Structure 1
Amino acid sequence: MKFFRKTIYTLFISLVFTGCFSIKKDESTINVDKVLDLSVIKTKETLKQLKDFDSFPRNIPTGEKEWECVGVTDWCSGFWPGVLWYAYEYSGDETIKKAAEKFTLPIKQIGYTPALDHDIGFQVYCSYGNAYRLTGNEEYKQVLLAAADTLATLYNPVVGSIHSWPMKPQYPHNTIIDNMMNLELLFWAAKNGGEKRLYDIAESHAEVTMKNLVRPDYTTFHLGSFDTKTGAFIKGVAHQGYADNSMWARGQTWGIYGFSFAYRETKREDFLNTAIHLADKYLERLPEDGIPYWDFDDPRIPNAPKDASAAAVAACGMLELAGLVKDDELKDKYYRAAKRFINMLSTDAYLSNENNQALLLHSTGHHPKNSEIDVPIIYADYYYLEALLRLKKWKA
């Protein structure tokens, strides 16, 4: 039966992508609506294969067609509901909305159980945050507020940042660059009925990250280790990057996006300047096609794997940044960069087409652990759809 489903799925997608929706590699500017139409069709078809609402797509192993799924507590659980909410936002399709509601509901437990790690923002804000934004349902709002309070329990006032991976004893207190993205939940909650301390925690975390995880050359450490008794910075390490002094692509883009909205919420010029410098460093070192290798310093380049997820996050971050900078030249620079990334991701070189259920190919998860290398990963699809919707609104 599974073989039959795969055969039918492959035939359907092949017909779609070899017809009017196919995007050719030589197109310099995509039709955003066309790509979003394609994405909605594919998302609806994928939904037919997903029956367990507490099981969430994460990656598609090499040679496979269908998503491998994970449970609610996996850090990636919120991205699939987020994909559905974005697809609904564009299409208005009630079938997708109902599915989004069903896949969102199980994540509620994250807000009401002790925090296992810092990824509550990814899990809850991508799912419930989009759900509340699009529906105004007060039940969604209450889950978001509870989740923000839960995330705040990981804050260490001595260090001034949120503790990443509290269940892992390798470091006394560690904070990773990814954690910048989880601050949006805290900023939102502080403006929507939560305590002001949530804002203070988010601002402090961003400041500690800026001062310690951002290097003088505006590349970033993945992880910073701190002394819990004094708050002193001990060292920065790669963890998911090639080396402790290398430029891990996705980490750089988490920083671009995270410091951009940190400026949006706080109006602190040092946060804006950090986002600008991180973005400029990223653009300076990009390969010709605009899609980064998983780490800019992997000595195997050009034979190292790419990371489409980093390109998708970069597109979102630079559109955010373009909307915040006051200088017209900078605004145009970051807008054009983001559009270039989206254009490239929307070609046959990176679109999955009939290959499998995902939207994008060629992402890299945890290269040092040989995990999720050059495969579709769900957060690439999430940020790709976000980037497309942002670009569409920018043009409107």
Structure 2
Amino acid sequence: MKIKNELTASDLKGKLERFWQVSGKKINRIAEEYNTSKGSPVYTWAGKYTTRGWTEWTQGFQYGSAILQFDATGDESFLELGRKDTVEKMAPHVSHFGVHDHGFNNVSTYGNLLRLMNEGSIPENKWERDFYELALKVSGAVQAKRWATTADGPGYMYSFNGPHSLFVDTIRTCRALVVSDRLGHSLMEDNDKSVSLLGRMIEHARSTAKYSIYYGEGRDAYDEWGRTTHEAIFNRNDGNFRCPNAQQGFSGFTTWTRGLSWAMVGFPEELEFIETVSDEELKPYGGRAEIEAIFLKAAKATCDWFIKNTALDGIPYWDGGAPELYQLGDYTSRKSEPYNDFEPVDSTASAIGAQGLLRLGRYLGTETEEGARYFQAGLTSFETMLEEPYLSLEEDHHGLLLHSIYHRPNGWDYIPEGQKIPCGESSMWGDYHIRELALYVQRLIEEKPYYTFFNCVKGLKK
């Protein structure tokens, strides 16, 4: 991609104002038109939200979007919408033992509401606070229960595929463990054994860094700096790593860019969190220097891969090894082409990944050359998403961020008449994450408290 070195967050102020206007209309339209009896909305089909998938992993993004909209605009109708739906409908997600998505569903809803109370944006209410805190405490412990050990050290929270399966996505679910831990909770197992949720977060992140991310160190014939695999497979008889795999990417030996983006944002935000933890607490898990080195290496590698392998305007294609990608020639030397005939882009990888670029840049220091490079890359990608053909300005279309891909190998995505590949559609995870990205940048512009997931814990600030 071509990084715009002179672009500043303040340069995007006017575009952000339009963005939130468009965003509010989309939230209201979905609330008015979507048939909730079908399940939670997942992605759009011919411009209208519908549901499809293995689990209910996007409902928190729907209600969380309304909460973010309130945060950005002050419009209390969105607060009431997000709060009402969270209280009435999110409880099953809190105690859901069958998924790895607690950091998505529950931190995006209960967590955002509790953060707003801590920041004084909504009135202090003891029973409401206790309700949100209890939900977040339970959610983190339930998530941490999905635990598998490895033969050579750290364990991991396994995906809904089963104990053999480590998903790169789950690095962002670590948010649920962090929040629960900082609220004073732990996982209680047989014989009243108390398991540290901080410890499980660190161990899971170590495993993700070791098995899901490549560093050009000769691990296999396709090892390159920053490549990721969607799924790492383990032999559950002895805990040994067996092979990389992909569920939604092209293969285990290619980089599915949405999977990459989860690591891009997950590691930088955990680095931000680790800064708030005492040396004494980190000592049992290798100590600060070791933990930060592992997390930082993973963050830099994945962000570097994105920058190197993404189109000029900061929007990647759905997989770095997609079989027809060669037909596009040197696609990194041109702007992204969502309406091409060969392979789709995935704008949601940008919406998720750009936040990681910005956070990593801030962590390293935007006054440094290295930090500025990542930060400017994040702004470059974000600016592209604030304009057509990525920002959805058509009022009848439910989606906010266009050109999202859900499951290309399974053929789940809508292909419009006259097109040869999926394009022009949105997803609930993409719409939520571009809102979260927009809120992050807006707070920087307005010099408001720095936005982190762990601001929902009182007194815990970056």
User: Common fold, TM-score beyond 0.5?
Assistant: yes
Distance in 2 (alpha carbons) for counterparts of 1:198 and 1:341 = 34
- 1:230 Cα deviation (Å)? 2.9
Match of 1:41 in 2: 25
- 1:75 Cα deviation (Å)? 1.3
- 1:287 Cα deviation (Å)? 1.3
- 1:54 Cα deviation (Å)? 9.3
Match of 2:402 in 1: 361
Match of 1:119 in 2: 101
Match of 2:302 in 1: 278
User: Superposition pairs for residues 332-351 of structure 1, below 5 Å?
Assistant: 332-351=372-391
Residues 48-75 of structure 1, C-alpha deviations (whole Å, 9 max, x = no match): 32474994321111x3x43214799511
Count of residues in correspondence between the two structures: 362
Of the three residues 378, 383, 387, the one matched with 2:437 is: 387
Aligned residue type for 1:80: Q
- SS in structure 2 of the partner of residue 96 of structure 1: helix
Alignment of 1:307 onto 2:346? yes
Q: Is the 8 A contact 2:43 2:406 kept in 1?
A: no
Q: Is the 8 A contact 2:139 2:180 kept in 1?
A: no
Residues 70 and 295 (structure 1 numbering): CA distance in 2 closer, same or farther, change over 3 Å? closer
Distance in 1 (alpha carbons) for counterparts of 2:202 and 2:243 = 22
Distance in 2 (alpha carbons) for counterparts of 1:307 and 1:314 = 11
- SS in structure 1 of the partner of residue 311 of structure 2: coil
- 1:34 Cα deviation (Å)? 2.6
Q: CA RMSD in A?
A: 2.2
Match of 2:125 in 1: none
Distance in 2 (alpha carbons) for counterparts of 1:269 and 1:221 = 21
Of the three residues 365, 370, 374, the one matched with 2:411 is: 370
- SS in structure 1 of the partner of residue 184 of structure 2: coil
Residues 22-42 of structure 1, C-alpha deviations (whole Å, 9 max, x = no match): xxxxxx955222322332233
- SS in structure 2 of the partner of residue 156 of structure 1: strand
Unaligned runs of 5+ in 1: 1-27
- SS in structure 1 of the partner of residue 90 of structure 2: helix
Alignment of 1:164 onto 2:159? yes
Distance in 1 (alpha carbons) for counterparts of 2:71 and 2:56 = 25
Residues 198-255 of structure 1, C-alpha deviations (whole Å, 9 max, x = no match): 1101100010111111123220110001122432211111221112211111111111
Aligned residue type for 1:68: T
Distance in 2 (alpha carbons) for counterparts of 1:157 and 1:254 = 22
Match of 1:192 in 2: 183
Residues 360 and 379 (structure 1 numbering): CA distance in 2 closer, same or farther, change over 3 Å? same
Aligned residue type for 1:152: A
Residues 227 and 127 (structure 1 numbering): CA distance in 2 closer, same or farther, change over 3 Å? same
Aligned residue type for 2:174: L
Distance in 1 (alpha carbons) for counterparts of 2:297 and 2:174 = 18
Distance in 1 (alpha carbons) for counterparts of 2:348 and 2:254 = 18
Distance in 2 (alpha carbons) for counterparts of 1:101 and 1:73 = 22
Residues 366 and 54 (structure 1 numbering): CA distance in 2 closer, same or farther, change over 3 Å? closer
Q: Is the 8 A contact 1:323 1:331 kept in 2?
A: yes
Residues 192 and 182 (structure 1 numbering): CA distance in 2 closer, same or farther, change over 3 Å? same
Alignment of 1:108 onto 2:91? yes
Residues 69 and 84 (structure 1 numbering): CA distance in 2 closer, same or farther, change over 3 Å? farther
- 1:127 Cα deviation (Å)? 1.6
Of the three residues 31, 43, 51, the one matched with 1:59 is: 43
User: Superposition pairs for residues 81-92 of structure 1, below 5 Å?
Assistant: 81-92=63-74
Match of 1:317 in 2: 356
Distance in 1 (alpha carbons) for counterparts of 2:63 and 2:429 = 11
- SS in structure 2 of the partner of residue 368 of structure 1: coil
Match of 1:152 in 2: 144
Match of 2:219 in 1: none
- 1:368 Cα deviation (Å)? 1.0
Distance in 2 (alpha carbons) for counterparts of 1:54 and 1:389 = 30
Unaligned runs of 5+ in 2: 1-10, 119-128, 187-194, 216-223, 276-291, 329-341, 414-421, 447-462
Q: With the length of structure 2 as denominator, give the TM-score of the two structures.
A: 0.74
Distance in 2 (alpha carbons) for counterparts of 1:101 and 1:214 = 37
Match of 2:232 in 1: 224
Residues 274-297 of structure 1, C-alpha deviations (whole Å, 9 max, x = no match): 101210111011112321110122
Distance in 2 (alpha carbons) for counterparts of 1:50 and 1:241 = 29
Alignment of 1:293 onto 2:317? yes
Distance in 2 (alpha carbons) for counterparts of 1:276 and 1:42 = 34
Q: Is the 8 A contact 2:100 2:158 kept in 1?
A: yes
Q: Is the 8 A contact 2:399 2:426 kept in 1?
A: yes
Residues 124 and 133 (structure 1 numbering): CA distance in 2 closer, same or farther, change over 3 Å? same
- SS in structure 1 of the partner of residue 359 of structure 2: helix
Residues 250 and 363 (structure 1 numbering): CA distance in 2 closer, same or farther, change over 3 Å? same
- SS in structure 1 of the partner of residue 238 of structure 2: coil
Residues 91 and 69 (structure 1 numbering): CA distance in 2 closer, same or farther, change over 3 Å? farther
Percent of residue pairs identical:
25
Aligned residue type for 1:368: P
Residues 358-377 of structure 1, C-alpha deviations (whole Å, 9 max, x = no match): 11110001111112343211
